[in-house]
Amino acid sequence: MTDENNSEVCSLCEKKFNSENLPVNDNNNLNGTYRGTISPKFQIRFLDTCHFMQSSLKILSSNLARGDKSKFGETAKIFASNYMEYVTQKRFYPYEYTNSWEKLDEPSLPHKEGFYNRLLKKLL
């Protein structure tokens, strides 16, 4: 049997598995390799906002940003007031251009063509 089938304790918290704490395989999300067996409380479940929000994230964030910046108290603790305009709204990002990890290592932004959105059929 593999380690995946024999684990008796969580590899993160070392709590013993039982009927209320069932084991879950933890895999690396980048390459799929097995990292250990964990308790279900450590599993992260990502939800796309479009599945439960009334509007797009862009519209929701712009509605918040229009008003009083005091709603962004935690953000204001990190960013200076002259940056709040930029960090409280959705900005342009070349999602289609960023199709590999190597692109994230590039020292500068792509040329204007990199900001083309095929879905909207326009430059951002």
* Domain residue limits, the chain: 3-42, 49-123
| pLDDT value at residue 23 | 93
DSSP assignment letter at 113: G
pLDDT score, position 1: 37
pLDDT tens over the chain, length 124 residues:
355 567 899 999 999 999 999 999 998 878 889 999 999 988 877 777 667 777 777 777 777 767 677 778 888 899 998 888 888 777 778 888 888 999 999 999 888 888 888 888 888 7
Distance CA 15, CA 11 (A): 8
- pLDDT for 73: 85
Give pLDDT, residue 94.
87
HSE-CB for 51 with a 13 A CA cutoff = 3
CB 53 within 8 A of CB 59: no
In degrees rounded to 5, what are phi and psi of residue 26? -105, 115
What counts of helices (H) and strands (E) characterise the chain?
A: 4, 4
Supply 75's token pair: 């953000």
**Which residue is associated with the tokens 């251009």?**
97
- The neighbouring-strand residues paired with 117 are 122
Reduce the DSSP state of residue 34 to 3 states and report it: strand
- What type of residue is 61? S
